[in-house]
Amino acid sequence: MNAHANKELAQKLYRLFNEARIDEALELATEDVEVILIPFGQTFHGRKGFGEFMGGFKQAFPDLTVTVTNQVATDDQVVSECRWTGTHTGPLLAPTGEIPPTGKTVDGAVFCEVWQIQDGKLAVLRNYQDVATWL
């Protein structure tokens, strides 16, 4: 695919996530997609794992909304700088255990994702963020 098509793929996937349309978002990933959540040292495998990654954040922050602030795409990669907001009303599953809801709103947290695109679908996602700023 070309850079423009890959950028559109990323924008569509973020939109579906914002709308909590996780099943539709999963269709935009390869069967063996790999998601690496760098700050937690977690790796999620396959569409099931990708669903757990997205679903975990939506469970903890049901109103979580991602806004892309900068995006660069090539014929096989997309890099997105993003901000997110959401209210912590559900449990957040972390590697060390469950973080109970605080009821606090996170506004303006930032993250960066580096995506590898294969045959028009998301194949690898690396998520980088400063978790301490929103915990």
Residue 70 lies in a domain: yes
Residue 105 lies in a domain: yes
**Amino acid 135: pLDDT:** 65
Residue 61 lies in a domain: yes
**Amino acid 132: pLDDT:** 75
- Assess contact for 77 and 100: CB atoms under 8 A: no
Domain count, the chain: 1
Q: Whole domain around residue 68: which residue ranges?
A: 3-130
Report the relative pairing of strands 29-37 and 121-129 from DSSP bridges: parallel
- Whole-number Å distance between alpha carbons of 8 and 50: 19
Residue ranges of the chain with pLDDT lower than 70? 135
**Amino acid 35: pLDDT:** 98
**Amino acid 127: pLDDT:** 97
Residue 135 lies in a domain: no
- The C-alpha angle 107, 86, 9, rounded to 5 degrees, equals 100
Looking at residue 87, its amino acid is T
Copy the structure tokens of residue 12.
Answer: 């569509």
**Amino acid 94: pLDDT:** 80
Q: What is the CATH classification number for the domain harbouring 89?
A: 3.10.450.50
